[in-house]
């Protein structure tokens, strides 16, 4: 019964993780279309390629690690495609820098771990060694949400934290945490439990600052309309013979001084979900990258 439950939870985890891995498709569709990487960063994809490769190796070593292998193998293929596209369309200087990173991390470091594990370590220690490396690397990658939360708190705006990215990272951490408990795998548990906690914190921060963002927009909209109404009123008045002001008979004001109706909250659709996820966690650190995605609807910034 426990084995069946863990398998079902693992399948759900596979589906959610693959959705997260598919999230940069919108980003690279734009890169290919414009034949430029613009302000996008290549490090997140290089690091994720290393992470999925390490976890694939761990799954191969682990008895009953089939579900770990399948999801991370799929992730490895997708991340390899993303890295290849980035290197094709990156400027020459950026391309050279990222080729060095790929050589050092995805070839050198990964190859070193595999060689040491297979040749220098034997028995149960082999799985322990690879599991510790995978967990440590995953913990390092979970620093990205902290940067995103700090940016949201500083700017008092949730445009730097796409909702669906936070939600699915939270969901992903929760499902794999449950799976690790069911199969008693602490190497999978540690990074995902921490990821679940950070995902929860992100959603709390999003909830707090979403309302503040809406209130700020309403105040700005109201101020803009008041200024516009005042300008229209002044244009509708002419100076009379005694130096006073009289209403121009040829102009009439149809706009009142009342504040405009509050703007509708943003509604999320499946397409917006994919676009929101298209910005990887590390890309959230770059406000310029966020603004460059404005025409694809990736940002939550409204032009007035």
**Contacts for 198-201 with beta carbons within 8 Å, 24 or more apart?**
198/142, 198/145, 198/146, 198/169, 198/173, 199/145, 199/166, 199/167, 199/169, 199/170, 199/171, 199/172, 199/173, 199/174, 200/170, 201/145, 201/149
Residue 8 lies in a domain: yes
Does position 259 have pLDDT exceeding 50, yes or no? no
Does position 131 have pLDDT exceeding 60, yes or no? yes
Residue 243 lies in a domain: no
The mean pLDDT of 160-188, rounded to a whole number, is 87
The mean pLDDT of 224-230, rounded to a whole number, is 54
Name residue, tokens 């966020």. 290
Which 3 state secondary structure label does DSSP give 254? coil
DSSP assignments along 62-117, one per residue: STT-HHHHHHHHHHHHHHHHHHHHHHHHS-HHHHHHHHHHIIIIIIIIHHHHHHII
- What is the span of the domain harbouring residue 97? 2-155+269-296
What integer pLDDT is reported at residue 163 of this predicted model?
80
Tell me the pLDDT tens digit for each residue of 261-284.
Answer: 444 444 444 455 445 455 544 444
Helix residue spans in 102-185 (DSSP H): 110-115, 124-141, 144-155, 163-183
Residue 286 lies in a domain: yes
Residue 220 lies in a domain: no
Q: Measure CA of the first residue to CA of the last residue in the chain; give whole Å.
A: 57
Q: Is 179 exposed, middle or buried (CB count within 10 Å of its CB: 0-12, 13-18, 19+)?
A: buried
Average pLDDT, the chain: 77
The mean pLDDT of 56-85, rounded to a whole number, is 94
Q: What is the reported pTM?
A: 0.67
The mean pLDDT of 38-46, rounded to a whole number, is 86
Tell me the pLDDT tens digit for each residue of 188-201.
Answer: 999 899 888 888 88
Tell me the pLDDT tens digit for each residue of 71-125.
Answer: 999 999 999 999 999 999 999 999 999 999 999 999 999 999 999 999 999 988 9
Residue 35 lies in a domain: yes
Domains in the chain: how many in total? Answer: 1
Spatial distance between the Cα atoms of 24 and 17, rounded to a whole number of angstroms: 13
Tell me the pLDDT tens digit for each residue of 18-29.
Answer: 998 998 898 899
Does position 165 have pLDDT exceeding 70, yes or no? yes
Which run of H or E residues covers position 10?
helix 2-22
Distant-in-sequence, close-in-space partners of 207: CB < 8 Å, separation ≥ 6: none
Residue 193 lies in a domain: no
pLDDT bin (cut points 50, 70, 90) of residue 256 is very low
Spatial distance between the Cα atoms of 102 and 128, rounded to a whole number of angstroms: 26
The angle formed by the CA atoms of residues 76, 78 and 79, to the nearest 5 degrees, is 65
Residue 292 lies in a domain: yes
Does position 166 have pLDDT exceeding 70, yes or no? yes
Spatial distance between the Cα atoms of 63 and 179, rounded to a whole number of angstroms: 15
The angle formed by the CA atoms of residues 191, 286 and 22, to the nearest 5 degrees, is 55
Sign of torsion, CA 288 290 291 296? positive
What integer pLDDT is reported at residue 133 of this predicted model?
95
Residue 225 lies in a domain: no
pLDDT bin (cut points 50, 70, 90) of residue 219 is low
The mean pLDDT of 220-247, rounded to a whole number, is 53
The mean pLDDT of 114-141, rounded to a whole number, is 91
CB 202, CB 284: distance < 8 Å: no
């Amino acid at each position: 019964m426990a084995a069946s439950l863990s398998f079902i939870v693992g399948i759900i985890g596979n589906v959610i993780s693959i959705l997260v891995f598919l999230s940069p498709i919108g980003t690279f569709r734009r890169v290919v279309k414009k034949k430029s990487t613009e302000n996008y960063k290549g490090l997140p994809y290089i690091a994720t390629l290393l992470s999925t490769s390490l976890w694939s190796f761990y799954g191969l070593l682990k008895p009953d690690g089939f579900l770990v292998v399948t999801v991370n193998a799929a992730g490895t293929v997708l991340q390899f495609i993303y890295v290849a596209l980035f290197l094709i369309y990156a400027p020459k200087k950026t391309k050279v820098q990222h080729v060095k990173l790929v050589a050092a991390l995805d070839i050198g470091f990964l190859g070193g771990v595999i060689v040491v594990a297979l040749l220098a370590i034997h028995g149960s220690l082999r799985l322990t060694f690879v599991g510790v490396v995978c967990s440590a690397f995953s913990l390092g990658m979970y620093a990205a949400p902290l940067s995103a939360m700090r940016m949201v708190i500083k700017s008092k705006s949730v445009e730097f934290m796409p909702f669906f990215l936070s939600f699915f990272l939270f969901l992903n951490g929760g499902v794999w945490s449950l799976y690790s408990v069911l199969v008693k795998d602490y190497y999978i548990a540690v990074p995902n439990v921490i990821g679940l906690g950070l995902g929860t914190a992100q959603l709390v921060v999003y909830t707090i600052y979403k309302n503040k963002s809406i209130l700020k927009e309403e105040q700005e909209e109201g101020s803009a309309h008041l200024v516009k109404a005042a300008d229209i009123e002044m244009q509708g008045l002419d100076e009379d013979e005694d130096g006073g002001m009289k209403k121009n008979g040829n102009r009439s004001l149809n706009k009142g001084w009342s504040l405009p109706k509050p703007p509708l909250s943003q509604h999320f659709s499946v397409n917006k979900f994919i676009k929101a996820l298209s910005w990887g966690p590390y890309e959230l650190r770059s406000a310029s990258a966020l603004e460059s995605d404005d025409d694809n609807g990736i940002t939550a910034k409204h032009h007035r």
